[in-house]
Amino acid sequence: MSLDNGGDPLASPATRLMGLVKRRGPMTTTALAQALAVSHEAARQQLARLCDDGLVVARQQTAGVGRPSRLWDLTPMGHSRFPDAHAELTVRLIEAVRSELGQDALERIVLVREREARGAYAAELEGAAGLAEKVARLAAIRTREGYMAEWRADGAFFLLIENHCPICAAAAACQGFCRAELEVFQDTLGPGVAIERIDHILAGARRCAYRIVPETVD
């Protein structure tokens, strides 16, 4: 579902609410209720549902004396629900690089992105106490990047699950991005760990999932 009618009084409450935040920036529950001409409780319930869906997030803002204000803002996934041409543009740019500069040039671009991600991820996982904390931090990074990631221990191994792919169009046009991500995960989690992609959105799965096994596990 993409949104483009947040100002339409006939649109759904969720669409109108997200449209207001998109146009005006972070807003309080009270301000949203007043703008939508609904009760505070109705706005609160709608925000709770959107928050559960990963589309909005509450942020605390302190201004002067008194209690901090609770402002609602769109998450990266919330922003992605509004129509834009970035996916189509990305695919066109990939095809242009491939046709004008060649596949080798496109692979070099993928390698640059891979190198940047490897450095950033390694810095954020520095000091992690054990594999479980590394996987947890990696999931947090990926969620921040829009992948709706989660993780869990499953017996002697771990699962990293990504319920959304914000670069799906680019990955479909150039699967080197998916290969690079898997290699970044392997390098970031370090030696002595085997990681396998067991679900893949581009292969028709509803999510991407990775099985992470310490080498001590048979």
pLDDT in tens, 146-178: 888 999 998 889 999 998 788 888 888 888 888
Rounded Cα gap, residues 198 and 8, in angstroms: 42
Confidence of residue 65 (pLDDT cuts 50, 70, 90): low
Q: Check residues 187 and 63 and name the one with the higher pLDDT.
A: 187
Q: Please name every residue paired with 150 in a beta bridge, in sequence order, or none if there are none.
A: 161
Phi, psi values for residue 165, rounded to 5°: -125, 105
Out of 12-16, 42-46, 63-67, 75-79, least confident range: 63-67
Domains of the chain: 13-80 (1.10.10.10), 86-214 (3.30.1380)
Please name the amino acid found at residue 79: H
Measuring CA to CA, which residue among 135, 157, 134 is closest to residue 217?
A: 157
**Mean pLDDT to the nearest integer, 116-139:** 93
Inter-residue contact 189 to 135 (CB < 8 Å): yes
Q: Is the pLDDT of residue 30 over 50?
A: yes
Inter-residue contact 32 to 43 (CB < 8 Å): yes
Inter-residue contact 83 to 2 (CB < 8 Å): yes
Inter-residue contact 152 to 134 (CB < 8 Å): no
CA-CA-CA-CA torsion for 94, 100, 102, 107, nearest 10 degrees? -30
Inter-residue contact 176 to 163 (CB < 8 Å): no
Inter-residue contact 42 to 121 (CB < 8 Å): no
Rounded Cα gap, residues 105 and 98, in angstroms: 7
Out of 51-60, 66-75, 186-195, least confident range: 66-75
Q: Is the pLDDT of residue 68 over 80?
A: no
